[in-house]
Structure 1
Amino acid sequence: MLKKHAILSKCVVTTHPYQKDIINTKTYIITRGVKMKIVSIVGKKNTGKTSLTVKVIEELTKRGYNVASIKHSHHSIEMDKENTDTWKHKQAGANLVVGVGSTTFFNARKEHDLNRILYLLKHFDDFDFVIIEGYKSYNYPKIITSPDVKDEYTIKEVDSFTITPEEVSELADLIEERGHDIVDTLFANNCGYNDGEVIAGKIRQGELTVDDLDDVKSYLSIDGKVVGLNRFVSDYLKRSVIGVINTLNLKDFGVDDIGKIELLIPNENTPKSPADAECAIKINDKDLEINSFTRTIVSNSIKGMVSAIKTEDNVRTIDIEIMNIEKELIDADISLKTNGHDVEINEFTQGILKETIFAIISSLKVDEKIKEIKIKVEE
């Protein structure tokens, strides 16, 4: 487990502290690596936070960016007036009221964690920037309107009452340079920096840019907690999920092209750490070398797929072969054995296994054209 604020001086494959518990309850996955940039505007009361926030939003919008904003207050914020229909819904006990008309609003009784809100924004749209007014205790780049709230996350102090249009433009330039995504989702090439707090600090100081970071393909939340995924795990999840989705008749559901994927997995089983297993992979009859982290991910993915097929009660060994992949994957042959016994699988299940396993292997960056895959998993 990588400790906070650790900086690695050599290239290693590491896991985020949460990556070992991916099977936990209520898992949300979004695939599409949108590098959203977050900045907060903070200061004492009556120091012009709102007017500065409005100016910044106007400037970023004028530049063509898709902007979201979050307002934090220590007081209750009511989204609808007394005696309206939605007000009556909330008074009746609804914990979440959604009003839909010419606009849409969500009125939740509970105050949610900022990172939870930021994660949910990724479901709504591909936002370029999120401008937050308030939340001064969080670890995002801050523009301050009063000197007494200055801390290590401050990137600029501004007098909101005297700032000129030219200075607002310069401030937007700074936000473009120093804003970054949710802290725990930040990884940089798995070489040098792979701790979100450290990377965020380097971006605030101008020593790294968002363009230097890994091209993250997936975002993950478990029980409302955002979980960081490095490039390999992110790409692995994306390819695996798309592998399964490619077997479905998407056009029957009105889906012509796969853009953003949102997957909700309610899992009521008792959370437990996945057991380690030996995993050997051959590509074109040659052994593929993989490290222990990758081995664990691949073996648990294979075990999960085979478990879903419900082959035997106590599966100790799994052997999968996909052969004749020269042309279309759909025409390739596949065989499955558990505990040394052949398992009959229908055409649909064959398609899922072929698509998903091929996607998994493709995420391992195999250098040659894949013609044959052999995987053995053993407890």
Structure 2
Amino acid sequence: MKLFGLAGWSGSGKTTLLVQLIPELTGRGYRVSTLKHAHHDFDVDQPGKDSHRHRVAGATEVLVASANRWALMHELRGMAEPTLADLVAKLSPVDLVLVEGFKRDPIPKLEIWRAENGKAPLFPDDPTVVALVADDPLPVEAPARLRRFPLDAVVDIATFILAYVGLPPHAA
């Protein structure tokens, strides 16, 4: 499976861009999965539901299944946070995995940057940033090696990602 990341500070527009890229890529015939890093103590379960009660009771894993979907929740219970590679290994095979977050992991990534966040760009210190999405003027000069896209260039960004990871622009 090919991996490509979207990185940037909170509020930069990573999720907005990601949810625009998914239909663009799947519309070209590719199977796409996503992997998102969440901070701290997120929860996908609802208090009062049976699956939540199972988990709170101490189950290490709770798998919930229906005719429409299944979801597996795994409680770490004090174990180390899994690595990106550990998590990718749990995914079913697809053409492309878009990774949101994991900004320090050594995968090729697109940095989404906005001046209004008041944070420095990641690219000067991260050689795995291969392209930049920004409408604002940058506070530092971007190296020529970085492709630059405006925030609304979803079609061009999708084409760039496919070419970068070695997939043809349109699925066969």
Within the candidate set 148, 156, 168, 1:170 is matched to 156
User: What is the match of residue 148 of structure 1?
Assistant: 121
Structure 2 counterpart of 1:140, one-letter code? I
Structure 2 counterpart of 1:119, one-letter code? A
Distance 2:5 2:127 in 1: 13
1:159 paired with 2:134, answer yes
Higher percent of residues as helix: 1
Structure 1 counterpart of 2:52, one-letter code? W
- Give aligned pairs, total: 142
Within the candidate set 51, 66, 69, 2:34 is matched to 69
Question: Any conservation in 2 of the 1:43–1:144 contact (CA below 8 Å)?
Answer: yes
State the 1:117 CA deviation.
1.3
Distance 2:70 2:156 in 1: 33
Q: Structure 2-normalised TM-score?
A: 0.76
User: What is the match of residue 86 of structure 1?
Assistant: 51
Question: Any conservation in 2 of the 1:48–1:160 contact (CA below 8 Å)?
Answer: no
Structure 1: gaps spanning 5 or more residues: 1-35, 180-208, 212-379
Within the candidate set 75, 80, 83, 1:109 is matched to 75
Question: Any conservation in 2 of the 1:42–1:134 contact (CA below 8 Å)?
Answer: yes
What root-mean-square deviation, in Å, do the aligned CA atoms of Structure 1 and Structure 2 show?
2.0
Distance 1:49 1:168 in 2: 12
State the 1:76 CA deviation.
2.0
Question: Any conservation in 2 of the 1:42–1:142 contact (CA below 8 Å)?
Answer: yes
User: What is the match of residue 275 of structure 1?
Assistant: none
State the 1:142 CA deviation.
0.6
Instruction: Report percent identity of matched pairs.
Output: 30
State the 1:107 CA deviation.
0.9
User: What is the match of residue 258 of structure 1?
Assistant: none
Distance 2:7 2:151 in 1: 16
Distance 1:77 1:159 in 2: 29
1:223-302 aligned at under 5 Å gives the runs none
Structure 2 counterpart of 1:173, one-letter code? T
Distance 1:49 1:56 in 2: 10
SS of the aligned residue for 1:120 comes to coil
State the 1:163 CA deviation.
2.3
User: What is the match of residue 97 of structure 2?
Assistant: 130
**Bigger Cα Rg:** 1
Structure 1 counterpart of 2:14, one-letter code? K
Distance 1:160 1:129 in 2: 26
Distance 2:112 2:83 in 1: 24
User: What is the match of residue 65 of structure 2?
Assistant: 100
Distance 1:133 1:51 in 2: 11
1:172-191 aligned at under 5 Å gives the runs 172-179=158-165
Question: Any conservation in 2 of the 1:41–1:133 contact (CA below 8 Å)?
Answer: yes
Residue 160 and residue 38 in structure 1: after superposition, are their counterparts in 2 closer, same or farther (change >3 A)? farther
**1:287-343: CA deviations, max 9, x gaps?**
xxxxxxxxxxxxxxxxxxxxxxxxxxxxxxxxxxxxxxxxxxxxxxxxxxxxxxxxx
Structure 2: gaps spanning 5 or more residues: 114-119, 137-149
Distance 1:177 1:160 in 2: 23
Question: Any conservation in 2 of the 1:52–1:160 contact (CA below 8 Å)?
Answer: no
Greater length-normalized contact order (CA 8 Å, ≥ 6 residues apart) = 2
Distance 1:160 1:168 in 2: 13
SS of the aligned residue for 2:97 comes to strand
Question: Any conservation in 2 of the 1:145–1:160 contact (CA below 8 Å)?
Answer: no
Q: Which contiguous aligned blocks of 4+ residues in structure 1 show a shift greater than 2 angstroms?
A: 159-164
Question: Any conservation in 2 of the 1:49–1:160 contact (CA below 8 Å)?
Answer: no
Structure 2 counterpart of 1:143, one-letter code? L
Residue 129 and residue 160 in structure 1: after superposition, are their counterparts in 2 closer, same or farther (change >3 A)? farther
